[in-house]
Amino acid sequence: APAPPPARHLFSDPAEVEALRGNLLAWYHRCKRDLPWRALAATEPDADRRGYAVWVSEIMLQQTQVATVINYYNRWMQKWPTLQALAQASLEEVNELWAGLGYYSRGKRLQEAARKVVSELAGRMPRTAEDLQKLLPGVGRYTAGAIASISYGQATGVVDGNVIRVLCRLRCIGADSSSPAVIEQLWDMANALVDRSRPGDFNQALMELGATVCVPKAPLCGECPVKQHCQAWCRKLFGNTPKVPDVEDCGVGDCPLCPPATEPWDSNLGVTNFPRKAAKKPPRAMRTATCVLERRGCHGAPEYLIVQRPSSGLLAGLWEFPSLPLAQDLQEEREREELADHLQVWTGRPVAAKGLRFIGEVIHIFSHIHQTYVVYSLPLDGDMTLDPALSPSRWVTEDEFHASAVSTAMKKVWRA
Ligand code: SF4
């Protein structure tokens, strides 16, 4: 078994733990933001509905800002206020409501999991973090802990990006915070720290602190309710005086939680010395040619062809203008020719590369892909029969385009 981490990185003094919990909870009570899912979790008497409300919010909040989520959350809960209602929705409806929120597989998995709860668990949400993680597709360790503690009062911790930052600063943890060993240590710490009588409030308070006070770049340490328990703050104020924990002083050998010896404390960074992460891989560059095919609809209004993406992979099941991934460094002429060949599949007749009008390039950054859309347009004369043997496709007006399940990237293409 690995050696236990040095005590200075842990919360080993019960009196300090009690004081930290009390200060944090009192601050949360005074300062927390009013958010719709918090109101629902606090007032909903039905445990399954409470669990569902928290679950939806947690899935939406993954990788997405609170301000963006609020509107989507309210519309979702209005449309599908219960698990049962969501289980009866179609994937198309789910994708339409999710359009613009990003990471589209989240909505699909949420709906699949709702169907599973209804059909296999008699509509009853699992009540513990362990069962939630085991039984619900798309529910990981963090989401399971959040649902169980906030909805059902289970005394279990949570570790998300905000908690990682706060804990690493509180205990001067400078080893790579994305490494499995450090993450495991942070889970142990979160489970030990969580308040036994108000676990949901405590977990939300820790995350709220990370989101509003202990922020990544310019934390508001002067206003922080737990600054007297924060080793990074002490270190910034007092440097290496004997009264202050010295993180390089963890004992003999390599401390598994200290910064590497090659990256010592940088006094210019202050508390933002923590957390530290190994450098991220740069996003992969991709180029995709896309074409807005336009025709006159039966009422004279312009219509545009959209086609559905495959049901797995990036932007699964969403609609887009006919698109074709391109090899890097292709000459423009060759790009046009390849796109023209591809469009022929949809139009059912030859498309002249010269007839494609170049509109511009649109850049969209996905989490791991730096995508450049090379945008063309092509007006079509006469009617065109869509081949049902191909991927689903349809002609839409401008309003219908915006109401369809299209990604933010395609909306940018539209604006171009
Ligand atoms: Fe974060 Fe500063 Fe509070 Fe420490 S004192 S927890 S670094 S905000």
pLDDT (tens digit per residue) in 373-413: 999 999 988 667 777 777 789 999 999 999 999 999 999 99
Give the mean pLDDT of 183-193: 96
pLDDT of 332 over the 80 cut: yes
Mutate to test the pocket of ligand 1, among 227, 229, 273 (most ligand atoms within 8 A of CB): 227
**Chain segment 273-320, per-residue pLDDT in tens:** 999 987 778 889 999 999 999 998 877 889 999 999 988 888 888 999
Q: Does domain 284-415 have CATH number 3.40.50.150?
A: no
Task: Lowest mean pLDDT of 91-100, 259-268, 315-324, 359-368, name the range.
Answer: 259-268
Ligand 1 close to Cβ of residue 166 (< 6 A): yes
CA distances from 311 to 108, 230, 314, 402 (A): 10, 47, 9, 20
With a 6 A CB cut-off, is 214 part of the ligand 1 pocket? yes
The predicted pLDDT at position 312 comes to 81
Question: What is the model's pLDDT at position 39?
Answer: 93
CA of 234 to the centre of ligand 1 (A): 10
Task: Calculate mean pLDDT across residues 240-269.
Answer: 68
Q: How confident is the model at residue 246 (pLDDT cuts 50, 70, 90)?
A: low
- Token reading at 325: 């991934």
Q: Which of 166, 193, 237 to mutate to test the pocket of ligand 1 (most atoms within 8 A of CB)?
A: 166
The residues annotated with a catalytic role in the active site are 58
**Identity of the highest mean pLDDT range in 216-230, 319-333, 368-382:** 216-230
pTM: 0.77
Question: Do the domains at 7-273 and 284-415 have one common CATH topology?
Answer: no
First to last CA, the chain: 58
Give the model's pLDDT for residue 242.
41
Across residues 31-58, what is the average pLDDT?
95
357 three-class SS: strand
* pLDDT, tens digit, 9 for 90 and up, residues 66-88: 999 999 999 999 999 999 999 99
Answer yes or no: are the C-beta atoms of 24 and 226 closer than 8 Å.
yes
CATH 1.10.340.30 assigned to 7-273: yes
Which pair of tokens denotes residue 160? 């998300």
CA–CA distances in Å: residue 28 to residues 144, 150, 169, 232:
22, 14, 19, 21
Cβ neighbours, 10 Å, residue 311: 10
Task: Give the mean model confidence (pLDDT) for residues 38-67.
Answer: 94
Query: Which residues make Cβ contacts (< 8 Å) with residue 80, sequence separation at least 6?
Result: 86, 89
Check residue 3 and give its pLDDT: 65
- Judge if the beta carbon of residue 233 lies within 6 A of ligand 1: yes
Q: Where are the domains of the chain?
A: 7-273, 284-415
How large is the average pLDDT for residues 125-153? 96
Q: What is the mean pLDDT of residues 201-209?
A: 98
Length of the chain: 416
* Type of residue found at 122: A
Concatenating the DSSP letter of every residue in 238-268 gives HTT-TTS--TT-S-SS--SSSPPTTS---TT
Q: What is the pLDDT of residue 240?
A: 56
Question: Is any ligand 1 atom within 6 A of the Cβ of residue 224?
Answer: yes
pLDDT digit string (tens) for 231-241? Answer: 999 988 877 54
Distance 89 CA to ligand 1 centre (A): 44
CB 48 within 8 A of CB 84: no
Q: How confident is the model at residue 243 (pLDDT cuts 50, 70, 90)?
A: very low
Residue 194 has pLDDT above 90, yes or no: yes
